[in-house]
Chains A and B, each alone.
Chain A
Amino acid sequence: MPAHDVLIIGAGLAGQRAALAAAESGATVAILSKVHPVRSHSVAAAGGINAAMNPQDDWRSHAFDTVKGSDYLGDQDAIEIMTSEAPDEIIHLEHIGVTFHRDDTGHLDLRAFGGASMKRTAYVADITGQAILHVLYEQLMKHSATVDRYEEWFNTSLLRDDSGRCVGCVARDIRTGEMRTFVAKTVILATGGVGQAFKPTTNGLICTGDGMSLAYRAGARLMDMEMIQYHPTTLVANGFLITEGARGEGAHLLNADGERFMQTDAPNKMELASRDVVSRAGQKEINAGRGIGPHKDGVFLDVTVVPRNRILESLREIVNLGRDFAGIDITREPIPVRPGQHYTMGGVKTDVNGETDVPGLYAAGEVACVSVHGGNRLGANSLLDTLIFGRRAGQHAAAVAGEMRMPEVSEAQLRDDERRIRRIVDRPRTGRRISAIKDELGTTLNQYCAVFRDEEGMTKAHDIVLRLQEEARSAYIDDKGTVFNQDVLGALELGFMLDCAEAITLSALERKESRGAHSRTDFPDRDDENWLFHLTVQQDGEGAEAPGEVGRAPITFTQWQPMERTY
C-alpha cells in the first residue's frame, strides 16, 4: 500500500500548492485527484488574484476590505495572514512562470475588482485561474521525483486510527476500478466546493463537496455553511460565469429601463460593490419587474463601454462565452445576466495552518473555512485563499510528519468501501434515478437558499433534503462495470452533496438575521448583538445517517470592530 508523509486529496490550486510546499519542506508527497489536475475547477477562475503590490497600497487596506466584505464574520487573524503574505506569493508565482500581464513599464499590471478600495488584482487576461493552475502543474511535472501523482483516483473514505487520528484514505482507481488504501502521516483535503448542489451553478460537474462530507463524516465541524455566494453576473441562458473582471474594466449593469441600478444600493462603488450587494441589487430589479428579456429574468451587463481592443486583450474568454453560449458579440451588445450560485464561503473549519478538528487532517481552499471570507467573499480573494492556505497547510503537515513514524493501518476500511460500492451496483431498479434526485436537490436549494431567503422556504428545503437523503439510499445505477464506472461515482457524489445540503439548510435556518450573502426577508437587518459568531454543524453520533447538530464558534477580532457597511 502506498505510504507518504503527506497525502493530498484534490489537485486544484490549493492541492497543488500544498503538494509543492510539502515537497519543498522535504516530505514525501502524494497528490490524488478524481480528475486530471488541470481539469480541476480552479481552472475556471477568471478575473485575477488580489495582493497589495502597488507601492501606494498596503496589505492592511486589503485586509480591511476583506473584513468589510465578509460583513464582519471573517476571522481577522486569518485575514491578516492572507493579505500580508499575498505579495510574496504573487512574486513566487511570477518566478515559477505565471504570465501575469504587465503595465507599460514592464511591471505587474493590476486591475480593479469588487469591494476593493484600490486596483490590486493581478491577472492573466481573463484566464488567471487556468494560467496559474497550468503553471503549478508544470511544477508538479518538474518535481515528479518527489511528488507522486494519482490522477483519476476517487476518494471513498478517510482512515482513522483508534485514537481518532486521520492516517490516510481509501481510493478507487477510476480507470480500473481497483481500490487501494493510502497510508499517510498527514492528510490534506483540497477538494473544492459544493456548487453542484445548486442548479444552475457556475461550478463544474466535479464540485460535489466530497471533502466537506468526508471530513464531516470523520467528525470534523463544518462552519459558515449558510454563506452561499451568488455571483451577480452569470449568463441567463445557462448560468455560466461572466467574470467580475468585466466590471473591473468598467462595464455597467442596466435594468430594463436602461438605468444603472447600482446607483441606489452602492452610489460610491456602483458596479464594484461587494458581490452580495450587487447580487441583491440585481435580484431586486428582477423581482420588481424591471428585468430584461422575454421572461424579465435578467439584467444587462454592458461591456461595450470598454474599448474594443481592451476587451479583446483582457476579456477574451467572455467574448468567446458570449459568442458560443449566448449568441452575442459582447463588444457590441449588452449581455443578459443574473445572479447565480458561485461559491461556498463555508466549509471544514480550520485554523490558520489548515488543521481541522480531526488530528492529522487538514483542509485548504474552497473546501475549508478558515474563515477568511466570512459572510461574503471578495472577487479575486479565492485564488489567494487557495494558494496561501494551501502552502501553509503543506508546510505545516510536512513539519508534523517529520516528527512521526508511519502509521500502521489495516485493510478493513477498504473492504467496507468495496462492499458499499458493490451494494450500490447491485441495487434493484426500483428506486429513483441518481440524476432525478440531484436535479431536485439543485432546483430546491436554488429556489429556497438563494439571494433572498425566509423561514418558510428554508424549512421546505430542509425537509426536501432529508427526504432526498432517504431516497438516495435506494437510488439505482445502470453501469455494472469497473472501468470508468462514472455512474457509481455519481451515486457517491450525491451522498456527499446531500450531507453538505443538510449542513447548509440547518445553518441557514439557525441564523435569524441578514449578514453577507445570507439575506433573510423575515430578518432583514444585521444583528451584531445576537449573531456575531460563526455557526458550525457537526454530525451527532457515528454513521452516515447521523443527523447534524448546529453549534457556535467565536469570531476572531484584531483591529476592526463592526461598522455599518456601505459601498
Chain B
Amino acid sequence: MATTEKPTTEAAEALPRDYTLRLRRFDPESGEAPYWEEFVVHLEPHRSVLEGILQAKGDTDGSIGIRCSCRAAICGSCGTRINGRPGLACNTHLESALERSKDGTITVEPMGNMPVIKDLIVDMDAVHWKKQRRVTPWLLPQEPMPEKEHVVPREAMVDVTQAMACIQCGACVSDCLSMEVDPLFIGPAALAKAYRFVGDPRDAKHEERLEDLANDPHGIYDCTHCFKCIEACPKGVAPMNQIMRLRRIASQDHDIVDKNDGSRHEHAIVDHVRKWGTLNEAQLIPDSKGGKLHPKTAQELMGSLPVVATALLRRKVTPRTALIHHKTPNQDQIRRIYDEVGAREERVELNLYVTQADEEETPAESPRTQDQQLGETGSPRPQASTADAIPETES
C-alpha cells in the first residue's frame, strides 16, 4: 500500500505547518494545455492530502476540481496520483507524502489510463465502469431460489469479502501496465469483480464466466503479473491475486484451455521449472502451443524467427544453449517444493480475510480470553510498541 505510512503518535500531536502542494491543473474550456500550480496549505502533519487540497480550494481557489466525499477511504471518489503513485488523497498523510516527494513539494495529478475531464477529475465511465460492465457484474443465481437464505460455507462468504471490499476508486486501473499496452485489457478492478462471482458458491455460471474471460484475448491471460495493482490498491483487494485465482480455477477446476493458449503457456512454464529449474526457451513455444507438430507451433515459430535471429546475433543465446538445456544444480530441491505443494489436498489461497495477517509472534501478546482481560482491566492495556505495524496484504 503506497499511502498508509504509520504516523507516529507524536505526529498526531504536532502543530500545523506549511506544505506546498503542486497540483496538475486542466481547464477544458480554456483551450490551454494542462499546467502545474502550487498552493501552500497550513495543516497538521497527520492531515490528509485531500484536506490540503480542500483547504486550497476553500481559502484560495474554488475552481480546483477533485471528486471527494467521505474523507475516510470508503467512497472511492478521490483516486489520484500523489508523487507519481496512485492512491486515495484522503488516506495519504501530508507528512508521509512530503517524505516521498523529490523536491519538497507534494505533487498531485489525475489518475492514468483514463481521460482527464478537469484538473484531478478523470472520466471513470469511459474506462473503469465500461470494463466493470464487461464482466457481467451481477449474481447469476441457481434456480429455483431457496425460500430462505442460501446455505453456504462460512469461509466462502468471508473469502469473497476481499473482492467485495473494492471501492471502485480506479487506483489499480490508473497504473495497470498491461492496460497501458492494451487499452482493451479488462483490467484489475473488473477482474477482481469477476472473482467476486466466480468465488461465490451461489453463482450458477462459474464455468461460463471463466470460459468467457479466458478466451477473451484481453481477459485473464492478458495480465503480466507486474504487481502494480496490488501496490496501488488502498483496500487490500490485491486484484492480481484474484486474477491468478481465476486462472487456477479455470484451468485446474474446469479444464478450460483457452484459444489464446494462455493456460497452456502457464502450464508449460510450470513444467519447465519442475523439469529444469529454468525456462527452456527453445521448448517453450512448442509446449505452449500444443506440441512440436501442432500447426500453431510452426506458425508461432515462424513468427518468432526475427526475434530468434536477433538474439543469436547479439549473443543472447548460442545454438548450443538454445538446443541443449541445462538443469540447475539443485533441481532436487525444486522438485521437492513441487511434490509438497502438489500433495496438499486443498489449494492454499492467500486471502486477507481468510488467512488474515500473520499470527501473533510474541507470547506476551498472544490472544487472551475476555475473562482474563476483564480481570486485569482497571486501566487500559499498555500500549504496544508502535513498530508492530499491522501487515497489510499477503504477497
Contacts and interface: CB of A to CB of B under 8 A. Distances in A.
Contacts of A487: 62-63
Contacts of B59: 433, 435
B344 interface: no
Interface in B37-92: 46-47, 57-59, 61-63, 65, 67-77, 91
Interface string A290-323: 0000100000101011011100110011011101
Contacts of B161: 99, 101, 124-125, 127, 131
A185 interface: no
A141 interface: yes
A515 B75 CA distance: 33
Given A94-B150, A241-B72, A481-B27, A127 B353 contact: no
A320 B73 contact: yes
A331 B390 contact: yes
Interface in A238-273: 238, 240-241, 250, 252, 254, 257-260
Interface string B346-384: 000000110011001000010100100110011111011
A175 interface: yes
Given A313-B158, A477-B62, A333 B75 contact: no
B63 A481 contact: yes
B390 A319 contact: yes
B338 interface: no
A298 B68 CA distance: 28
A251 to B, nearest CB: 11
A210 B40 CA distance: 32
Interface in A450-470: none
A104 interface: yes
A411 interface: no
A141 B63 contact: no
A554 interface: no
Contacts, number: 244
B29 interface: yes
B43 to A, nearest CB: 11
B12 interface: yes
B8 A334 contact: no
Contacts of B91: 324-325
A43 B167 CA distance: 9
B6 A327 contact: yes
Contact of B389 (A44, A135, A329): A329
Contacts of B58: 433-436, 439
Interface stretch (B117-125, B175-183, B222-230, B287-295): B117-125
A107 interface: yes
A100 B28 CA distance: 44
Interface stretch (A32-40, A343-351, A394-402): A32-40
B164 A134 contact: yes
Nearest to B145: A95
Interface stretch (B17-25, B99-107, B131-139, B254-262): B131-139
A325 B48 CA distance: 9
A51 to B, nearest CB: 11
B137 A334 contact: no
Contacts of B168: 38, 134
A91 interface: yes
A240 B71 contact: yes
Contact of A308 (B13, B124, B149, B367): B367
A97 interface: yes
Contact of B384 (A108, A319, A333, A436): A333
B28 A125 contact: no
Chain B interface mostly: loop
A204 B29 contact: no
A333 B381 contact: yes
B298 to A, nearest CB: 44
Residue of A40, A139, A151, A332 ringed by the most chain B CB atoms within 10 A: A332
B279 interface: no
B207 interface: no
Contacts of B374: 305
Contacts of A38: 75-76, 167-168
Given A127-B165, A237-B46, A41 B62 contact: no
A477 B91 CA distance: 28
B149 A108 contact: yes
A138 B137 contact: yes
Contacts of B310: none
B200 interface: yes
A529 interface: no
A206 interface: yes
B121 A484 contact: yes
A102 B390 contact: no
B139 A96 contact: yes
Nearest to B168: A38
Contacts of B63: 478-481, 485, 487
Contacts of B11: 327
Nearest to B197: A97
A141 B137 contact: yes
Contacts of A142: 138
A326 B71 CA distance: 14
B76 A97 contact: no
B154 interface: yes
A107 B12 contact: no
B77 to A, nearest CB: 5
A328 interface: yes
Contacts of A205: 68-71
Interface string A215-242: 0000000000000000000000110110
B188 to A, nearest CB: 17
B388 interface: yes
Contacts of B378: 258-259
A108 B202 CA distance: 14
Contacts of B367: 307-309
A254 B380 contact: yes
Given A91-B148, A99-B200, A104-B154, A334 B28 contact: no
Nearest to A38: B168
A101 B3 CA distance: 29
A552 to B, nearest CB: 36
A327 B8 contact: yes
A486 B151 contact: no
Contact of B70 (A151, A204, A305): A204
B142 to A, nearest CB: 10
B117 A99 contact: no
A107 B360 contact: no
A490 interface: yes
A109 B149 CA distance: 11
Contacts of A252: 377
Contact of A327 (B7, B74, B124, B160): B7
Residue of B76, B149, B156, B386 ringed by the most chain A CB atoms within 10 A: B149
B9 interface: yes
A97 B390 contact: no
B62 A302 contact: no
B152 interface: yes
B151 A321 contact: no
20 contacts: A38-B168, A97-B202, A99-B164, A101-B158, A101-B161, A125-B353, A127-B161, A135-B139, A138-B137, A138-B139, A139-B138, A240-B71, A252-B377, A312-B356, A316-B352, A321-B73, A324-B73, A324-B91, A329-B388, A333-B381
Interface of A: 35-36, 38-41, 43-44, 90-91, 94-97, 99-109, 124-125, 127, 130-131, 134-135, 138-139, 141-142, 151, 175, 204-206, 237-238, 240-241, 250, 252, 254, 257-260, 294, 300, 302, 304-305, 307-309, 312-313, 316-317, 319-321, 323-329, 331-334, 433-436, 439, 477-487, 490
Q: Please provide the 6 A-B residue pairs with the shortest distance between their CB atoms, ordered closest to farther.
A: A435-B58, A97-B139, A258-B379, A479-B63, A487-B62, A332-B384
Interface of B: 3-4, 6-9, 11-13, 27-29, 46-47, 57-59, 61-63, 65, 67-77, 91, 93, 117-119, 121, 124-125, 132-133, 137-139, 141, 145, 148-154, 156-158, 160-161, 164-165, 167-168, 196, 200, 202, 235-236, 352-353, 356-357, 360, 365, 367, 370, 373-374, 377-381, 383-384, 386, 388-390
